[in-house]
Amino acid sequence: MQSIGQYFRANPLGGLAVLAGVMLATRFHHFGSVTHLPDASLAVFFLAGFYLRRAIYMIPLMLLAGGIDYLATQHMGVSDYCISPAYGFLIPTYAVMWFGGHWYAARHTLSVASLTPLAVALIASGSIAFLISNGGFYLFSGRYPDMSWAEYAQRVSMYYMPYMSGAVFYVVLAALAHIGVTVRPRSAQGDAPR
């Protein structure tokens, strides 16, 4: 049985399809609700950096994100409030998440000690991504021309945890799946004690 990482590296287009499927299933409602899953886009880019490793795979994922946003806002009644001149800041936002996953991939081991670099990579890249996307929106969307730094800080504190929680949730799920597939019980490997 292959691990998830081995499968994604041997079949990068299959891995890309899995990550694209997760994005398709979750991107339409950013924070989630009782009836909708939270957006997994940040986690998708982090996992693409970890599993797929080649930066070229960011391009189809970014195009997919833009396509979903277009479809959602133009044809499905989702608010287009966040579509503004600042929308382009999502490119470096997602690149930061990809880089975080890529950085972690070089430090990953199947040990508890690997949780520290995972947490560092996820929190650092997610926080930088938040500053880029959120800061870009408040500075360049044209919706808040007279906002003070104090008001910005208040708004940041309101949105930071929901922004990070979706990424953390999905990366934890992926980590549990990775461990579950990679670490098999001895009896499943055919070398059970006799």
**pLDDT at res. 179:** 85
Whole-angstrom distance, CA of residue 14 vs CA of residue 64: 15
Task: Give the tokens for residue 145.
Answer: 């021309």
**pLDDT at res. 150:** 85
- Determine whether 15 is exposed, middle or buried from the number of CB atoms within 10 Å of its CB (0-12, 13-18, 19+): buried
pLDDT one digit per residue (tens) for the chain, 194 residues: 567 878 888 889 999 999 999 999 888 765 444 446 888 999 999 999 999 989 999 999 999 999 998 888 888 777 665 777 788 899 999 999 999 999 999 999 888 899 999 999 999 999 999 999 988 888 877 767 777 878 888 877 888 998 899 999 999 999 998 888 777 654 455 554 44
Angle at 180 between CA 96 and CA 47, to 5 degrees: 10
Please report how the helices 149-182 and 115-140 are oriented relative to each other, as an axis angle in degrees rounded to 10: 150
**pLDDT at res. 102:** 97
Place of tokens 């800080």: 153
CA–CA distances in Å: residue 78 to residues 72, 74, 82, 114: 5, 8, 10, 39
- What does the domain layout of the chain look like in residue ranges? 4-187
